[in-house]
Amino acid sequence: MRLKAVAIDIDGTLTDEKRRINLEAVALLRELERRGVAVILATGNILCVTEAVQTFIGTTGAIIAENGGVVKDSVLGVERYLGDVVEVRRAFNYLVAKREVRPVPYSELRKTEVAIIREGVTVEEVRTLLRDFNVEVVDTKFAIHIKSPGVSKGRALEELAELRDLDMKKIVAIGDSENDRDMLAKAGYAIAVGEPSLSDVANLVTKQRFGRGAVEALHHVLEQIR
């Protein structure tokens, strides 16, 4: 496998169900970096949290945050915000008037989307209530996100590939949820972590879930580049 980069989700992929990061997976990411493969962190989380994870793991392949709404490459000095946050917030204000929903912690730091706690409302209800707004609603298993249509991890990965002059065919994508679907579909090789519903866009579905599945996926990637 002629590999230049690995784009990997964080919550539910590198972590367990309590969002505790798998340290064996971290060691494998560092091994990829040691071999010259840039690791891109692609998450629904906010930028500052993702930057902290990047710092502590030691990855060099830039950041995709807020489900593709934020693209940041510190090496190139590039930071981009995608989507129409005005429409997103207008939709959220309407939702608040109709249902008792709560934003996730640190929502004031989100630049391109709104994320709400998955309690008291389903993603189907949110989609129905916001059907007249130009927004997309996705369930990441940890929160329900309201974002602009067309904004995705896949689109953001394409932007990063263009910035760094990378061939998308030489990028492996690893994720576990519907918000990873577009990224998995657009990468040269895709691994779904313990999620059979993504098998239509994945070359491999790991037997294990969460961080243990990421370990399985990363071992597979490392074996391919030996």
Q: How far is CA 109 from CA 49, 99, 115, 225, in A?
A: 10, 23, 11, 38
For the question of residue 9 being annotated catalytic, the response is yes
Residues 6+ apart with CB under 8 A from 206: 191, 192, 193, 194, 213, 214, 216, 217
Q: Among the options 9, 73, 176, 182, which is catalytic? A: 9
Among all residues, which ones are annotated catalytic? 9
